[in-house]
Amino acid sequence: MKKLSILVIALLALALGTVVSAQDDVTVTLASTQFNVVEETEKAREILADFEGGTIDFVPFEEGPLIDLLRAEGQSGAGTIDVIGSIHGTFPTLVNDDVLFDLTDLLASIEEEYDVSDDFVELGRMGTTDYQYYIPWMQATYIMAANNEALEYLPEGADVNALTWEQLAQWGQAMQEATGEAKIGFPVAGLFHRFLEGYAFPSFTGGMVTQFRSEGAAEMLRFMRDDLWPYVNPESINYDFMNEPLLSGEVWVAFDHVARLKAAFDESPEMFVAFPAPAGPAGRGYMPVVAGLGVPFTSPNPDEAEAVIRYMLSPAVQSQVLSELGFYPVIDGVETEDLPEGVATMLDAVAATVGADDAIPSLLPIGLGARGGEINEIFRNAFNRVVINGEDIDTVLEEEAVTLQTLMDETGAACWAPDPVSEGACQVE
Residue 237 touching another protein (CB under 8 A): yes
Binding part of the chain for another protein, among 16-24, 141-149, 238-246, 326-334 by CB under 8 A, reads 238-246
- The nearer residue to another protein, 213 or 385, going by C-beta atoms, is 385
Say how far apart CA 215 and CA 220 lie, in whole Å. 9
Distances (CA, A) of 101 to 77, 80, 132, 278, 288: 13, 15, 8, 40, 25
Residue 26 touching another protein (CB under 8 A): no
Radius of gyration of the chain (CA): 24
Order of strands, edge to edge, in the sheet holding 83-87? 55-60, 27-32, 83-87, 289-294, 135-140
- The nearer residue to another protein, 251 or 334, going by C-beta atoms, is 251
- Contact between residue 212 and residue 206 where contact means Cβ atoms under 8 Å apart: no
Say how far apart CA 113 and CA 379 lie, in whole Å. 42
Per-residue x/- marks for another protein, 356-385, CB under 8 A? Answer: --------------xxxxx-xx--xx--xx
- The nearer residue to another protein, 352 or 366, going by C-beta atoms, is 366
Nearest approach, Cβ of residue 265 and another protein (Å): 17
- The nearer residue to another protein, 111 or 399, going by C-beta atoms, is 399
- Contact between residue 291 and residue 87 where contact means Cβ atoms under 8 Å apart: yes
Residue 244 touching another protein (CB under 8 A): yes
* Buried b or exposed e, range 157-179, using 16+ CB within 10 angstroms: ebebebbbbbbbbbbbbbbbeee
Q: Which of 380, 363, 361, 364 is nearest to 193 (CA)?
A: 380
Residue 267 touching another protein (CB under 8 A): no
Nearest approach, Cβ of residue 37 and another protein (Å): 8
**Residues 281-340 close enough to bind another protein by CB under 8 A:** 297-302
Please say whether the dihedral angle defined by the alpha carbons of residues 263, 315, 91 and 54, taken in this order, is positive or negative.
positive
Distances (CA, A) of 235 to 148, 158, 184, 200, 262: 21, 27, 10, 20, 21
Say how far apart CA 301 and CA 53 lie, in whole Å. 12
Residue 57 touching another protein (CB under 8 A): no
Per-residue x/- marks for another protein, 385-424, CB under 8 A? Answer: x--x----------x------------x-----------x
E strand segments, 300-424: 359-361
Residue 97 touching another protein (CB under 8 A): yes
Residue 68 touching another protein (CB under 8 A): yes
Which residue in the set 44, 47, 87, 95 belongs to the binding site for another protein (CB under 8 A)?
95
**Residues 247-266 close enough to bind another protein by CB under 8 A:** 248
Binding part of the chain for another protein, among 77-85, 103-111, 158-166, 275-283 by CB under 8 A, reads 77-85
- Which positions lie near another protein, rule CB under 8 A? 37-39, 42, 60-65, 68, 77-79, 95-98, 101-102, 127-131, 180, 188-190, 234-235, 237-241, 244, 248, 297-302, 370-374, 376-377, 380-381, 384-385, 388, 399, 412, 424-425
